[in-house]
Amino acid sequence: MSSTFKPFAPSLPALQLDRTFPFSTQQHLALAAIEQFLNMPERKLFLLKGFAGTGKSTVLCLLMQHLRQHGWRIAMTAPTNKAVNVLRQMAAQVQLQGVDFMTIHQLLGLSLKSSGGEKRLEPTGQPLTRLYHLVVIDECSMIGTALWAEIAKLDSPLLPTKIVLMGDPAQLNPVGEAKSPSFRVPLAATLTQVVRQHQGSPLAEYIADCRRSVTRSQAPFQPYSHHRQGQGVFRVSQAKLLDYACHTIARQFEQAPDCFRILCFTNRQVDYYNQIVRQAYYGTAAPRFVVGERLITRDPIIGADKKTIVVPTATEIVVQGVELDDYCGYSVWRLQIEIDRDSKQIYVLHESEQDRFDRETIRLQAAAKRNPYLWHVYYKHLETFAQVRPCFALTIHNAQGSTFAEVGIDANDILKRLAHTNEDRSSRLKEYNRLHYVAASRAQRRVLVVYSRRPVAN
């Protein structure tokens, strides 16, 4: 702990609101609740929850601008690098300066480690929490039980740092878990009213309908067209979606990779769209990897120690160099990649080696079934090579925490979520509706949705 660090003085100057900004009543109440929390030395955690378009970010930005003027050290964090980049862009838009940005794992000095096919959190450095008066944790709906157990340790009278969590309770739950435990923080404010600058927006109205299907409806959400003056939601054919995607990506993707993405439920459909769009973008004769190509990780990439996760799942990377090489006895593509201005080297199995790799996988699995001690060998084999693919299309789970100018949604693919028979209807319906809400709320201006009321085979 720095010797210059001072616990909070109880006399925080009152918030001076910008009277020219049309704050809603709920936003005023939320700011008052946070101000009260900051003046309560014994309370460390506060939750600001709200749906898309209710002005959570506006409230937090006003708060941080006020606190920065009074010398507070602030860190803005989120579970993923992509979500952190969204925070960085948001701060730049409102000219919020002097704030640090990092993932929650970086703040807490944690790293994901792989062991026997499972991923666990381990300390790899000193926590940075004590360096800040205030830590904002965005996208808290993505925080699972293991990460929350580490965050909950900050709720201690020995730590002076205040933690404000921000999240949307209608978003998808952490993979394989129930609703994030972060939503159980007792000291909280809730925003439900769509703020004035979004009122009358056809996209905001559509997203509000998606949200009501999550919070109130017992019926599956049915997509529809709702647009004015070229903005909003357009129900289109799959051919039209692909034509628009290829045209928009060809014109804008190199300079603005968040211009347009196609969102799906299944990996199979993501691969289908990525193949078509990539061929249109790079040509049918393009090599396996192209310098400058943007990819996304399908699984965590494990480092040379066979333990440390060096690149998490659903991380976008840019190819800086491509070479043929040998690695762990296989022919591979050695890729030099860039992630948020950091350079790394990864190995991707060459396509000519896939059959041999698969045969070895089957052999190791059979050996592990005979001798359970060998399961760790099997899992290390599976993690040997990086699993990456284009990112023109994404799963909705991978898109959570991201913002795009426009999105395409394959609602026929989302229908497959209702067909899962290993869960009760209520669970399937809730996630089905959440998928629609998360997909639509990734867009800033326009949504193209493919929906024919029944799954469509390719």
351: number of Cβ within 10 Å: 10
Q: Where are the domains of the chain?
A: 25-194, 200-287+392-450, 299-386
What percent of the chain clears pLDDT 90, i.e. is strictly above it?
71
For 264-291, the pLDDT digits (tens) are 999 999 999 999 999 999 999 999 999 9
The residue to which tokens 């900050």 are assigned:
154
Indicate yes or no: pTM above 0.85.
Answer: yes
Sign of the torsion formed by the C-alpha atoms of 179, 181, 185 and 191: negative
Cα–Cα distance between 417 and 431 in angstroms, integer?
8
For residue 258, what is the DSSP state?
T
Q: Are strands 74-78 and 99-103 parallel, antiparallel or unpaired?
A: parallel
pLDDT at site 371? 96
pLDDT in tens, 432-456: 999 999 999 999 999 999 999 754 4
Place 164 in a pLDDT band, splitting at 50, 70 and 90.
very high
Describe the crossing of helices 375-382 and 354-370 by its angle, rounded to 10 degrees: 160
Sign of CA dihedral 392, 431, 214, 193: negative
Fold entry, domain 200-287+392-450: Rossmann fold (3.40.50)
Q: What is the C-alpha separation between 174 and 180, in angstroms, rounded?
A: 7
| C-alpha span between 450 and 410 (Å, rounded) | 5
Residues in Cβ contact with 344 at an 8 Å cutoff, skipping those fewer than 6 apart: 310, 311, 317, 336, 337, 338
Residue 198, pLDDT score: 61
Using only the alpha carbons of the chain, give its radius of gyration.
23
Instruction: Considering only residues 234 and 66, tell me which one the structure prediction assigns the higher pLDDT.
Output: 234
* Per-residue pLDDT reduced to its tens digit, 3-14: 344 444 334 656
Please check whether the two domains, 25-194 and 200-287+392-450, share a CATH topology: yes
User: Using CA atoms, how far apart are residues 138 and 57, in angstroms rounded to an integer?
Assistant: 9
Domain 25-194 class? alpha beta
Q: According to the model, what pLDDT value does residue 117 have?
A: 67
